[in-house]
Amino acid sequence: MSGSRFLLVLFSGAAFAHQATVRLTPLTVTAAHEHGPGRTVLEKEVFQRTLRRNLGEMLEQLPGFSNQSYGPGVGQPVIRGQSGPRVRILQNSLGVNDLSRISPDHAIGLEPLLTEKIEILHGPDALRYGSGIVGGLVNVLDGRIPEQLPTRPVTAIGEYQYDSTADEHAGVARLTGAIGPMVLSAGGARRARGDLVTGAGRLQGTDGDDRNGSLGLSWIGGWGFVGGGLQRLEKDYGVPSLEAADHDEAITLHEDEHEHEAGHTHEDEPGHEEHEDGKIRIDLKQNRYDFRAGIQNPWGWAEDLRLGYGYTDYRHLELEGGERGTLWTQRSHESRLELHHVPWGPARGSLGFQSRNGTMEAEGEEAVVPETDTASYAGFIAEHLDLWPFELDLGMRIEHLTTEAQGFNERHDLPVSGAASLTWNPADRHRLSLAFTSTQRPPAPQELYSFGVHHATQAFEIGNPNLDMEHSNQLELGYRFEHPRMTAEINFFHYWVNDYIFFRNTGRIDAGSGLPIFTAKQQDARFKGFEAQVHLPLYASNYGDLDLILFGDYTRGRFASGGDVPRMPPLRYGFEWKFHREEGEIFLRLTRAEPQKQPGENEASTPGYVLLNLGGEYRVLVKDRARVIIFARATNLLDQVVRSSVSNLRTVAPEPGRGAQVGMRIAF
């Protein structure tokens, strides 16, 4: 790396901001914490100017985040090179409990258009929700079950967006009404798109149609709240098949030559439409039912008591060439009880209990995982001590997991995790933090039991039922400087992961399918990197303010015995100019990603790229009641062929090419 390039990256600022507001147009990051500094909150204004096709796309502009995309229908967040079972996705503080952790081509079972707020947790706070969360935890809050009385009897929001890269139309509406202590919330979203156009051509078979509806009802009083909600989610989307307009830029994927036998039908089984031969589609349907309650000051030493329960009925049907393929189903229950105690001297915090039970089953030719029952029971504690000028955060979690798969011995795991974070505030403008986390992760069902062809990932996958638990030790050092003329933050991290589980590309080909063989392996691995950001207010006047933002991130993953961990993100850095005033703003953002030349054994490297985006918004207040926001963005103005190094289909499915996004949002 050249000296000038290194300086640009080093003096940028960091992703995981602590107790600060960082503006990354079109993203606004507001960070705060309940118990410790490891909590970042993205307010809903963040998402008003993005298309929000999927969760990975919503977060990928944040330092430290990447998007593991499978076309426009699927995008899973990758945090510091970690994804799948090492990143837990929550919806309203309970697991989404879909099958996105089983395979990266499975969409996350939530609708980004209805998102009100996103929390990103790591360190002691993350242990309140799960074990083995090496990358971090993403909690998507949609306000489906109201917890506070609204300021007006009736509020409503409507929004429409259009994106030219997939000829996509998306709309969302939400209505909230209150009668006395009763509050009703109803929302719906719909999006329809054609095939995605990339810098390398059109991705055939990536069109989609998504629908979502939700309803929530709460009783709210001075004592707290109690409420319930339901959600219906339907997604019909195509996984990029191996055809692209520019054949020099794409690798043709294997098309199954065998017909799938039609299995028996179910009364509520997802239907399907006829599509071209060889195309892979997923027809997803999910029903989710939630109950939540919060009681304030239930007794003397308790500040509040919170209870949550969720039941998810998930199923999706995989179609190949219009023929019925594999039907995946999962039914899961998750409950959570957490008590926040009153301050005990300098200490405030919580303790609680969490349980998860679920059954996963696959029927069809690609039933690569047997029917599996899991049951998890965990206890946790998180404490924050204010010892000015120091702050100490502690967390601990003990969990018992039982995994029972047909044809295999019952498995019992007891992961134990702990975390500590020390923050020093030597002066008002300086903040230095050091965090350490030690966590264990039991192997996931697909890592243990997979065996067979998986066309969506273009691999013959073989699991290993004798895998041990992963054990990771994570060290993070952060510094933040705040001044009226500059805000800067940088985080360095180093992870030591013993018995790291990954699917290794063996370089061998399965004779029956013609696909490469991937086997589940364990090796000690090391990860290191940084995230950085600098915000410089350059000019302020009566006409508006001009700011400059510099940013960068980097993650390097290697095995202790030598070799590269596959599918790591590249070095990224860039800048953003932003002019803003009360009525609106204009921004120009440039991101440079270096080539990924350490892709892992038998994996394909990816070239570098430059992303140039330009956009803005205009805000109008109508009669002190309605607020109208009109926004527009020009994306990938250089029409670069962007290949995501964290995606299994990086050689097949580039990211969107040059395009335009426009939208309008009305709230009253």
- The predicted pLDDT at position 337 comes to 98
Which helix (H) or strand (E) element contains residue 55?
helix 55-59
Residue 244's pLDDT band, with cuts at 50, 70 and 90, is very low
From the DSSP assignment, how many helices (H) and strands (E) are in the chain?
A: 3, 36
Q: Where are the alpha helices (DSSP H) in 473-632?
A: none
Q: In the prediction, which pLDDT does 401 show?
A: 97
What would be the CATH architecture of the domain defined by 146-202+216-667? Beta Barrel (2.40)
Which amino acid is located at 492 in the chain? F
The residue among 544, 548, 550, 545 whose CA lies nearest residue 536 is 548
Predicted confidence (pLDDT) at residue 346 exceeds the cutoff of 90: yes
Sorted by sequence, the CB contacts under 8 Å of residue 267 that are 6+ apart come out as: none
Measured between alpha carbons, how far is 110 from 94 in angstroms, rounded to an integer?
12
pLDDT category at 13 given cuts 50, 70, 90 is very low
pLDDT in tens, 211-237: 999 999 999 999 999 999 999 999 999
Please give the residue that has the higher pLDDT: either 642 or 263: 642
pLDDT, position 435 = 96
Taking alpha carbons only, the member of 94, 459, 482 closest to residue 309 is 94
Q: How far is CA 296 from CA 302, 342, 353, 431, 622, in A?
A: 8, 11, 18, 33, 38
264 confidence band (pLDDT: 50, 70, 90): very low
Q: Where are the domains of the chain?
A: 146-202+216-667
Q: Mean pLDDT for the chain?
A: 87
Per-residue pLDDT at 10 exceeds 60: no
**pLDDT tens, 587-601?**
999 999 999 999 998
pLDDT band with cut points at 50, 70 and 90 for residue 458: confident
Give the confidence band of 512 by pLDDT, cuts at 50, 70, 90. Answer: confident
Res 457: pLDDT: 73
Express each pLDDT in 539-576 by its tens digit.
Answer: 999 899 999 999 999 999 999 999 999 999 999 999 99
Most confident of 59-63, 324-328, 336-340: 336-340
Bigger pLDDT: 178 vs 7? 178
The pLDDT of 486-500, averaged and rounded, is 96
Residue 37 pLDDT exceeds 80: no
pLDDT bracket for residue 623 (50, 70, 90): confident
Highest mean pLDDT among 215-219, 511-515, 648-652: 215-219
For range 657-661, the mean pLDDT: 95
Is residue 276 very low, low, confident or very high in pLDDT (cuts 50, 70, 90)?
Answer: very low
The span from the CA of 551 to the CA of 577, in Å, is 12
Lowest mean pLDDT among 75-84, 86-95, 273-282: 273-282
Q: What is the pLDDT of residue 247?
A: 39
pLDDT recorded at residue 49: 62
CB 137 within 8 A of CB 87: yes
Q: Give the C-alpha separation, 667 to 27, whole Å.
A: 20
